[in-house]
Chain A
Amino acid sequence: AQSVTQLGSHVSVSEGALVLLRCNYSSSVPPYLFWYVQYPNQGLQLLLKYTTGATLVKGINGFEAEFKKSETSFHLTKPSAHMSDAAEYFCAVTSLSGAGSYQLTFGKGTKLSVIP
């Protein structure tokens, strides 16, 4: 069964500091990996995704993530945090249902706070 672990339900960083949100996964199918962001009172928005090819993936708003197969990780980083980055972030991995359909398994989320 597929699973996603996000280390740290809450992360606080100072404005301008490095953002690092951790995600580890387990998957029995080739892992396709996603990071989503949720701003207060909104739905989820895709930040970036890894499918195949280059393991360093760049997304919107200056975020990037690196797929490391040997570590089963897909950590999200941003060099310099901005106040507008305060949100909840979800890591997700493709999973295969019993009927053979693809769906996403999400982590529990990490709430990012940015301190001025």
Chain B
Amino acid sequence: DVKVTQSSRYLVKRTGEKVFLECVQDMDHENMFWYRQDPGLGLRLIYFSYDVKMKEKGDIPEGYSVSREKKERFSLILESASTNQTSMYLCASSRGQSSSYNEQFFGPGTRLTVL
């Protein structure tokens, strides 16, 4: 059974803290993605990675950075958390660097609250 796991389901942090969200996939997928989900706005892509140490900005990268040192792991970093980063964060992975129709597999999400 394919699996994408996220390190925490719920996280509460204070303004200004550095926050790490971890995502691990066991499907040997090349592509990994970080989204944030907010009511009425759907899913918005923050960053994605198509190979180890490779990253590409999505639609809303400001305030975030990412790290992919190993193929199975993709980390999202909030350098200095702010209250407007309170959201649900979803990680996903997909097969193939050039395939445009491969489905993305999602983790269960991390609900982050910044106080």
Quick check: A103 and B99 within 8 Å, CB to CB? no
A-B pair number, CB within 8 angstroms: 59
Measured between alpha carbons, how far is A42 from B107 in the docked complex, in Å?
Answer: 8
Indicate if A51 sits at the interface (CB-CB under 8 A). Answer: yes
Of the candidates A45, A49, A104, the one having the most CB atoms from chain B within 10 angstroms of its own CB is A104
Measured between alpha carbons, how far is A51 from B100 in the docked complex, in Å?
Answer: 9
Indicate if A25 sits at the interface (CB-CB under 8 A). Answer: no
Measured between alpha carbons, how far is A109 from B43 in the docked complex, in Å?
Answer: 9
The interface size bin for chain B is 20 to 34
Indicate if A24 sits at the interface (CB-CB under 8 A). Answer: no
In the complex, how many residues of chain A place their beta carbon closer than 8 angstroms to a beta carbon of chain B? 27
Task: List residues of chain A with CB within 8 A of the CB of B12.
Answer: none
Indicate if A43 sits at the interface (CB-CB under 8 A). Answer: yes
Indicate if A113 sits at the interface (CB-CB under 8 A). Answer: no
Indicate if B74 sits at the interface (CB-CB under 8 A). Answer: no
Quick check: B101 and A32 within 8 Å, CB to CB? yes
Beta-carbon nearest neighbor of B104 in chain A: A104
Of the candidates A41, A43, A45, the one having the most CB atoms from chain B within 10 angstroms of its own CB is A43
23 residue pairs from A and B, CB less than 8 Å apart: A32-B101, A41-B108, A42-B109, A43-B92, A43-B107, A43-B109, A44-B43, A44-B90, A44-B104, A46-B103, A51-B101, A90-B43, A94-B101, A101-B48, A101-B56, A102-B98, A103-B33, A103-B45, A103-B48, A104-B45, A104-B104, A106-B44, A108-B40
